[in-house]
Structure 1
Amino acid sequence: MKKIPLNLDGLLSNIKPHLTRTNAEWASLGLIILCTLTLFIGRIPSQKTLTLDNGNIIYHGNVQATKMNGQGKVTFANGDIYEGNFNNGFFHGKGKFIAKEGWTYVGEFKKGQADGQGKLTTQTKTVYEGRFKQGIYQHED
């Protein structure tokens, strides 16, 4: 096997004129921008389908940092459906929950519970409309 001598003198002499303080500063700035963009892009919501709890929960919608965030729809194995806004993996904001048993809730959610203005319609078509707090209807007297 023939050995080929490695001559780095020519390579280094070609690189040295480009290794200036200004170029090093620009390279550092470029690296900082690249790292910042990488972090930022990781936080941009993207449309995905998540399968959770061994396939008992299927989510389709915006995902950010591996959690349900933004607009989406969850279908549960028992037939329940939630469609609306999510924040950090919870129902949060405006949404609609349709239970397999026949009742529905349309309104505001906070951390996974009915909270705020909403309308609950039971299986027997009884309607409770108004304010809910932590999942409980606040009857106004």
Structure 2
Amino acid sequence: MIGALLLSVALFLLAIASHLTTLGAAHRLVDRRTDLSAKMAVSLMVLFSHLLVAALFGFGFWFGTAWGLGSFDTPDAMTWMDYFYFSLINVTTLGLGDIYPTDHLRVIAGIEALTGFALISCSAQLFWKMMTQGETQ
């Protein structure tokens, strides 16, 4: 359990650092330019950041499985795409349930969902800023 918590905290910190770095660059771009191409570039930066976070946690699930923290309840062996798919579904808090972790990997899944919720909120704030920038108050 302690191993799963330590891995979760490390993944959380990496995810937060990478996302905030990307959002910081996106904020600076929005502050300089408000045209459609800049907004599209910012949108792609946000998408890339969320995909990177899903990939980080996907790697964490693979590592946790290899480390013996648990497995996934699926009849087939997990591939890198399965880890990424599960992570992407989990980080968005969608949680389809077609693949789910067992044992201590559930801790990582819970931390990932909380992380995803926080990061999506940060992204929403950036989109709000882009949409309202230039409006008179």
Larger CA Rg, structure 1 vs 2: 1
Structures share fold, TM-score greater than 0.5:
no
TM-score, reference length from structure 1: 0.25
Higher RCO by CA contacts (8 Å cutoff, separation 6 or greater): 2
- Whose helix fraction is larger, Structure 1's or Structure 2's? 2
